[in-house]
Structure 1
Amino acid sequence: MLRWSISFLILALIAGVLGFGGIASASVDIAKILFFVFAVLFLISAVAAALRGRLPS
């Protein structure tokens, strides 16, 4: 999921440089949403692993 977020961010940067404002804006929004979903899932898995007594790898 983090890979998708980075891909949309790169797409937004390229679209912004080329002058496609609408596509750049949409790509940034998608990248933000995917990044926050990734961060929440990571935190949930880290807490679950800590509660089980294992160190996250």
Structure 2
Amino acid sequence: MRRAENLVVCGPPGTGKSFLAEALASEGIEAGMRVSWFKLRIACPNHRNGQGDRYP
């Protein structure tokens, strides 16, 4: 977390993506770091949401 890199969490619904991201963000905040949270369509407006990998 100290390297201040971006993180994209993806996967099928119900696999804990939001839980993981919220836990990491909480740890960062407690460590005095700045944390930002964006939905993909806002962070990457040119990304064609839903056109990437498909999950069975």
- State the TM-score, normalizing by the size of structure 1: 0.41
Whose relative contact order is higher, 1 or 2, with alpha carbons under 8 Å and at least 6 apart?
A: 1
Q: Indicate the structure with greater helix content.
A: 1
